[in-house]
Amino acid sequence: MSVLTQAVERDAFAELSRFRTAFYGCLSARADAFFELTDALLCADGPVRTPVELSLTAEHRRGYGSLYGALNHGCLDVNRLRDLLVSLPLPRFGGRIVLGVDVSPWLRSDAACSPERLFCHVHGRSKAAAQIIPGWPYSFVAALTPDRTSWTAVLDAVPLGPADDAAAVTAGQLRRVTERLIAAGQWRPGDQDMLIVMDAGYDVMHLAWLLRDLPVELVGRLRSDRALRLPAPPRVYQPKGGRPPKHSKEFSLARPQTCAEPSVVTVNDTPRYGKAEARAWDRLHPELQQRSAWIDHDGELPIIEGTLIRLKVEHLPGDRDAPPVWLWSSATGADPADVDFVWSCYLRRFDLEHTFRPFKQSLGWTRPRLREPEAADRWTWLVIVAHTQLRLAAPLATDRRKPWEKTTRIGVALTPTRVRRGFRHLRPHLACPARVPKPGRPGPGRPPGSKNRHPATRHDVGKTVKRPSTLYERDQARL
């Protein structure tokens, strides 16, 4: 082994040990049980089927009662943990931070006694296979990597409640993450703005207006039935007076005859999609109406200009037809290099969906049948911490593949599942601040033959707050 390799491994061990020690400092009540539950999650053989089986691992030295005690009554300083996550080394795109935001549901269709459940839209393999299932939706923010991989640095997770406005919660979450990145020194004045990519489920233009005071550029996909407006022509003198126009001609994404000449056209060859052609139009904006997300806006509605990009590739993987993708960026005056950078970063947004796969399949994020949302939040942060430790341990792990699995190519990072197989061999060399458990005996429990005199309360599913649809309804609600 070369001296350079030994130095890299020594730094990786030190970084991982520092993170484990700092994570233990974020715990207060039932800290030892919570920490050992995280180690059991990392060292368990195979996918997690139920949390109680983690108490049988050698890394969990306590009883199964302490496991549920940590989830139900443990104390975790979430804000301190968020500061810890943003202080770690983050992947960058040529020195620029790229963040992805997406929602993933924790389905709880049979948990009638669990509060704060919403109807979650679950995609199927076809449009007819989509379903609406009750569950707890969580909004995740992660730093994306420039390579095509399932590794992302998850920085934050926020549950969406029945009384929450999804746009307001997302804007607040992105604002807090951005401010923490600036406070941690990940972004300094003079650096390029942080790029945030999102799918069509978000109102990217509304979020761009809410986050206009931050050094961020928002990129989101638009539906193909949207209509925007071209920039207003230069103001000229009108002898009869009158108000100058705010908008120019309509630019309908579904009608090519309304499209003007693009300001930027780029063509690139890609290994997965063939030839990729991108066309960009500068300073396109929506014609806002005071309804829906803008019902509470006081004063004149703003003009939110950005760059519209139409991406068309030859084929999708598997020689499938590829319809054009419309993207909107909150930045204006983009050159060809900026246009190619934007759509290439948007393609990396799908890596966050591949991060949810080990969350649910290997680490068992949605496996526990917890009743209280607070316990679900603690388990969610436990899974995030476990995934972060796997990411930090990736340079140290060896490929312990099974005979029927493919060999990992040289230079390609191991998947989270394969890194987790070897974490048990790395744990003895890492910091383990959890204390030795004290001997004790379990309580007597409920007497045999007694009945439960306090049945659990059943809760309805769905939104509890309705947004006003007209200005009259808004004014009446303010009275």
Q: What are phi and psi of 205, to 5 degrees?
A: -75, -40
According to the model, what pLDDT value does residue 367 have? Answer: 94
Alpha helices per DSSP H over 50-113: 64-73, 78-86
Average pLDDT, integer, range 126-146: 88
Q: To the nearest whole number, what is the mean pLDDT of the chain?
A: 89
Q: Quick one: pLDDT band at residue 140, thresholds 50, 70, 90?
A: very high
Residue 104 tokens, joined: 């993933």
Summarised one tens digit per residue, pLDDT across range 201-247 is: 899 999 999 999 999 999 999 999 999 998 887 766 666 666 677 77
According to the model, what pLDDT value does residue 241 have? Answer: 63
Residue 3 confidence (pLDDT) above 60: no
Lowest mean pLDDT among 165-179, 309-323, 330-344: 309-323
Residue 443 confidence (pLDDT) above 70: yes
Q: Quick one: pLDDT band at residue 413, thresholds 50, 70, 90?
A: confident
Residue 474 confidence (pLDDT) above 90: no
Which of the pair, 267 or 397, is modelled with greater confidence?
A: 267
According to the model, what pLDDT value does residue 208 have? Answer: 96
Residue 117 confidence (pLDDT) above 70: yes
According to the model, what pLDDT value does residue 1 have? Answer: 47
Average pLDDT, integer, range 290-318: 88
User: Which H or E run includes 474?
Assistant: helix 471-478
According to the model, what pLDDT value does residue 4 have? Answer: 40
d(CA 80, CA 82): 5
d(CA 129, CA 123): 7
Which of the pair, 124 or 168, is modelled with greater confidence?
A: 168
d(CA 205, CA 41): 40
392 DSSP β-pair partners: none
Q: Quick one: pLDDT band at residue 275, thresholds 50, 70, 90?
A: very high
According to the model, what pLDDT value does residue 407 have? Answer: 84
According to the model, what pLDDT value does residue 242 have? Answer: 63
Residue 192 confidence (pLDDT) above 90: yes
The structure's pTM equals 0.92
Identify the sign of the CA torsion 391, 392, 394, 400: negative
Average pLDDT, integer, range 425-445: 86
According to the model, what pLDDT value does residue 320 have? Answer: 80
Amino acid in the structure at residue 19: F
According to the model, what pLDDT value does residue 63 have? Answer: 87
Helix/strand/coil (H/E/C) assignment for every residue in 193-250: CEEEEECCCCCHHHHHHHCCCCCEEEEEEECCCCEEECCCCCCCCCCCCCCCCCCCCE
